[in-house]
Every structure is written in structure tokens, then in C-alpha cells.
A = this chain, B = another copy of it.
Amino acid sequence: MHPFEGISEQHTQTIMKARKRVIEAIGKNMGLYGVTLSVGHLYGMLFFSEKPMTLDEMGKEMEMSKTSMSTGVRMLLDLKMVHRVWEKGARKDLYEAESDWHQTFADYFAIEWRTAVEANVHALNRSAGELRRLLEEHGGDEALASAVSKDLEKIESALSYYDWLDRLIDTLESGKIYDLVPKEKP
């Protein structure tokens, strides 16, 4: 990261310091996306890099092993926070940070939260089915019916929440969210 040809040492320092503050902040808060401090830092670095970077360049800049860069980049790729870039006759793979953070946010939900919703809904439906069957077959048993009904209520309430969450994620994924909450300040 020395893109500052023709710029004095002092001004370079100022720019680097400004960048570093932001990178640090980003890195620290990317725990919300389930990534390490160092992976967050890697993203921040790529965010400011004006040209796509290779694994070797990242490793040098971060003072970390190439292996770590490889796994770090893969995580960021999975989250769609980074994408591979093609360049004429390039030997090495090149990576670039996704700069549209609205998109990144939406992707995160479409990828991670959607998966969780599906897994939970699956479990909830399965259990709800079993409980409903129990209720059908032994509905006469007062104590049983009462206990099962309580659980079923909780499960149904959870399912209703996930239904809503799923629709919320839909609006993020489709971009319809920007009709509801506009990008530009009202």
C-alpha cells in the first residue's frame, strides 16, 4: 500500500493515519459479521486499496502468512464482501473489496440469516408435527394436552416470527427495502 508517488512523506503519513483509524474501526466491528479482527482488518485494507491485491501483497501488508490470507479472503468471498477480479494475463488471483455496503449488508442477511432461519424453521416444523400428532392421538389426556399445547403455542409463535424475518430478508435481497427506507435522507 504505497500508492502515494509524488506525495511528501508528511502528507503520506496523514493519509495513512486517516485510513488506519477507519480500518481499525471497521475491523473491530466486523465481529458482527462473524469474522475475526484480523479478517476485518484485511477487509478494511482492501477497502482502501486503489488496485486489486494478490494474496502475497496482502500478506506483506498485514505481516501475516499467505495461508491466513487465503483463508481470510475465502471468508470474505463467502460473505461477498470481496470478489475476485480478472486482469489481462495475470499470474496471481486478484481480489477487491465490495464497495457497495448496502449490498454487503443485504448479502449478509441473504446468506447467513436466511440459512439460520431455514434451519430453525425446519426444526420447529418437525417438532410441531410430532407434538400435534401426540395431541391428536392422546387429546383426551388432560395433563398431556395442557403441556403439549403450551409448547405448540411457543413453537407457532416462533414460526410466525421467522415468517416475518424471512419476508424482511426478502425485501433486503430484492432491494425493495430502499422503497421502504430510502437510501437518501427524506
Contacts and interface: CB of A to CB of B under 8 A. Distances in A.
> What's the dominant secondary structure at chain A's contact region?
helix
Contact of A7 (B7, B24, B141): B141
A120 B185 contact: no
Nearest to A153: B99
Contacts of A168: 177, 181
Number of copies: 2
Interface in A10-52: 11, 14-15, 17-19, 21-22, 24-26, 28-29, 31-32, 34, 47-48, 50
Interface of A: 3-7, 11, 14-15, 17-19, 21-22, 24-26, 28-29, 31-32, 34, 47-48, 50, 99, 101-102, 105, 112-113, 116, 119-120, 122-124, 126-128, 130-131, 134, 138, 141, 143-144, 147-148, 150-151, 154-155, 157-158, 160-161, 163-165, 167-168, 171, 177, 180-183, 185
Contacts of A5: 143
Given A34-B32, A101-B161, A134-B15, A151 B48 contact: yes
Contacts of A32: 34, 112-113, 116
A11 B138 contact: yes
Nearest to A163: B185
A96 to B, nearest CB: 13
10 contacts: A4-B143, A4-B147, A7-B143, A11-B144, A14-B134, A15-B134, A22-B155, A32-B116, A171-B180, A171-B181
